[in-house]
Amino acid sequence: MKNLNKQLSAIVLSTVFATMSISFAAENTGLGVGLGGAEINNATGGYAGLTKGLDSATLNFDANSHVNWNTLNLNSNETLNFNAVNGANNLTILNTVNNGMSNLYGTINANSGIGKLIISNPNGVLFDGAHFTTAGDLMITTQDMSNLSIDDLSKAKYTKLYDDNGKLIPVKITGNSVFNIGGDYTIMAPQVNAANSTITANTLKLVTANGQDYLALNAAAPKANTSATTLRAMNIDGDVVITNEVGATQIAEGGTINGNLTTKTGGWAWFNYDDKGNTLVVNGDADMTAADEYMFLRNAEVNGNLKMKNSGGFLDLGNAKVKGNADLTTTGMPEQGKYHHFVHVIGDTEIGGDLNIESSQNIHIGGYDYDAERLAVGNLKVNGDLNAHSTNGHITTTINTQAKKINYKSDNYNILTDGKAVLTADEYQFAANGYIGGLKDSSTQKVDQQVVYVMENYVHIPSDIKTHDYLKIAGGNVSKIDTPNNAKVYIASNGDMKLTGANSGDINLTAYRHRIDIEGDDVHAKNINVGPETDYLKVEFPNRDYTLNYTNIRDEKVVTINKNDEITYDITDGEGGNNRPTLVPAEKTTYLIGPDKPIDPVPSQPDPPTPGPNPNPQPVPTTPTPDGTEPAKNLMTQWVPEDVTKAPVNTPVAFAADLDEDEIDKAVRKNVDGSVTVVRAFPMMN
């Protein structure tokens, strides 16, 4: 038992020594001269000593250690190394700094035995042209960890959020700094600014102070437009996760993220709005959320899927290319009253998959230039389906938009265009609580102002308006039009158009110099009015519950076909008395295609007459047989064609009677009328 007690005592003592601070006077590393120096106050037992070199210092560790620095600075020509020695592995090295911001311009390295390296300075940290290489994880924080052990890091708190000048305390990266981090790289501070630098890590986590931190310190939280996290012209190899509960998030002047981008912002979210001619490239998925008035993603390429969600305002996607699907969502905040939760899709934007827009209020595919007081320009191309749903706002399109299928639904307002934008799809579905169509200039407002006025003021248009125009499509199948019974719908097609589904009031259709087909039993309306510019109109279903109006090509008069009236040849007969599908109508009349004109039966033709005898038969030359007899010939009559009578046929025939009084021939007798009679069989010749 004595030996066992001695062993236990040794284990306990070694553990105690490992956690004790080494007693030594402040140790000057010789680094950071002119910047405030780099001086160690003390360190725990895992610290195995300092080795100085020319413009370098190496801290050695054989166990976990907490190094307390009085100051920690590094000149551009200096190197600071953190070394695990004596086979130590997966160490955690905590560095806390007491005085002044750490200004790091030089090189910092940590070898493979260091699993996690932490630098904590409540006064802030600056990396300017620095080079930082670690094999494991790296954490830079302004939380105060000076009184914590390695096992209590989760208890770290902010002791201050603002400096003496009232500015947020930052961690700053600039001056083409380079970070090569073998594990995760985490930065925690009230403010994070990184610009013109390169970071390689599994995941870069940028975490700014949340609302609870400000409440705990009785400090005023940053406003929604105060920058909390900013990445400017950064190149990051790895995933990026940005979390700031208060303040704004910005990515500016382009940059590249070779991984996924995930952001959660309590204030504004501006992603490459200030591009300065540079593109933001995300080579992965982008998932962004915000909770305030402004959320932008512009001048960007996302080579994965995109999700943008704003619970406190509108969001804006412009001049972007998304390789996968894009989901854009705004949700209302009733406690703030009516708020303009626009979804803007502007500029030249292309979505490789589906584009799904879900908005509590307005959806505007096109945007508005408030400075120039006119609608923005651009094009939207969706290689999959475009689905837009507004629960309490308009859906307005003012730029040319293309998709496989376009599905617009406004629960309480209208589906609008500026009368110029063209929708291009194979299939269209429109559902609104009022007017579907275009707007145009009025006597007091240009169409641009009309669009913005109607959207900004949530003007509901239950029926027709004096300044109506058409919603324009390129052609294709309109499989759904759903409006109240008193609403008006105006759709113009630049190509052939089909209407296969409707439940609406008055539907006004036109297809300039093209064809409209109204098909199937799922088209219901009060009236369907077809513009005279339409070349051809075909209505297939006989049991209609709507009244059809069109301008007939025969007399250029409006023809009304009432509900369930049968469309017959009499009312579809075209000019000239023929139902001709190749007929080219005039520009202001329509040709109604209906049943074909009855075809008169073709009279039967009599049988050809039987030809009479040939008055001048030609003699048939014969060739004697070896036994001297005349060979058998075709039994000819004078009406047998001449080319047939000249062809000798050697074939067995039956005996026949002699019909004249001459001597019986050996085989064949010529008769007076020129015919021949076979009088006995003649064998076939080889």
- For the entire predicted model, the pTM comes to 0.82
pLDDT at position 585 is 73
Look-up: residue for tokens 């439940």? 503
CA distance 401 to 84: 60
CB distance 296 to 313 below 8 Å: no
Cβ-based burial of 164 (10 A; exposed 0-12, middle 13-18, buried ≥19): exposed
Instruction: Read off φ and ψ for residue 590, nearest 5 degrees.
Output: -125, 140
pLDDT at position 625 is 55
pLDDT at position 8 is 36
3-state secondary structure of 515: strand
Residue 658 or residue 349, greater confidence: 349
Whether the predicted pLDDT of 110 surpasses 90: yes
- The set of residues, in sequence order, having a beta carbon less than 8 Å from that of 378 and lying 6+ positions away, is 318, 319, 346, 347, 348, 349, 366, 367, 399
Lowest mean pLDDT among 89-93, 655-659, 665-669: 655-659
pLDDT at position 641 is 53
Give the mean model confidence (pLDDT) for residues 21-47. 86
Whether the predicted pLDDT of 537 surpasses 90: yes
Lowest mean pLDDT among 6-15, 36-45, 312-321, 555-564: 6-15
pLDDT at position 615 is 67
Lowest mean pLDDT among 118-122, 249-253, 255-259, 570-574: 570-574
CB 93: neighbour CB atoms within 10 A?
29
pLDDT at position 333 is 57
Written as one string, the DSSP assignment of 527-587 is EEEE-TTBSEEEE--SS--SEEEEEBTTTS-EEEE-TT----HHHH--TTS---TT----T
CB distance 449 to 430 below 8 Å: no
Most confident of 5-19, 172-186, 334-348, 607-621: 172-186
Q: Which residue, among 319, 248, 256, 254, has the nearest Cα to 288 in the 3D structure?
A: 248
- The set of residues, in sequence order, having a beta carbon less than 8 Å from that of 234 and lying 6+ positions away, is 194, 195, 196, 197, 198, 199, 251, 255, 256, 257
**Residues of the chain above pLDDT 70, percent:** 81
**102 falls in which pLDDT band (50, 70, 90)?**
very high
Lowest mean pLDDT among 513-517, 530-534, 601-605: 601-605
pLDDT, averaged across the chain: 85
Residue 375 DSSP label: E
pLDDT at position 601 is 73
Look-up: residue for tokens 């002791």? 159
pLDDT at position 630 is 53
Whether the predicted pLDDT of 354 surpasses 70: yes
Overall residue count recorded for the chain in this entry: 686
Distance of CA 84 to the CA centre of its chain: 50
Rounded to a whole number of angstroms, the distance between the first and last alpha carbons of the chain is 133
Give the mean model confidence (pLDDT) for residues 121-144. 98
CB 176: neighbour CB atoms within 10 A?
13
CB 248: neighbour CB atoms within 10 A?
23
Give the mean model confidence (pLDDT) for residues 138-153. 94
pLDDT at position 609 is 73
pLDDT at position 619 is 60
CA distance 77 to 33: 11
**606 falls in which pLDDT band (50, 70, 90)?**
confident
Lowest mean pLDDT among 155-159, 283-287, 556-560, 645-649: 645-649
Look-up: residue for tokens 């239950």? 462
Structure tokens, 350? 């292309």
pLDDT at position 638 is 46
CB 508: neighbour CB atoms within 10 A?
20
**Residues of the chain above pLDDT 90, percent:** 64
pLDDT in tens, 481-491: 999 999 999 99
Whether the predicted pLDDT of 261 surpasses 70: yes
pLDDT at position 553 is 84
pLDDT at position 374 is 87
- The set of residues, in sequence order, having a beta carbon less than 8 Å from that of 356 and lying 6+ positions away, is 325, 326, 327, 328, 387, 388
Give the mean model confidence (pLDDT) for residues 425-435. 97
Residue 431 or residue 639, greater confidence: 431
* Sign of the CA dihedral running 52, 54, 57, 58: negative
pLDDT in tens, 366-420: 988 777 678 988 999 999 999 999 999 999 999 999 999 999 999 999 999 999 9
pLDDT in tens, 220-248: 999 999 999 999 999 999 999 999 999 99
pLDDT at position 636 is 44
Residue 516 or residue 5, greater confidence: 516
**CA angle 22–28–30, rounded 5-degree value:** 140
pLDDT in tens, 10-32: 333 333 334 444 445 679 999 99
Residue 179 or residue 370, greater confidence: 179
Whether the predicted pLDDT of 337 surpasses 90: no
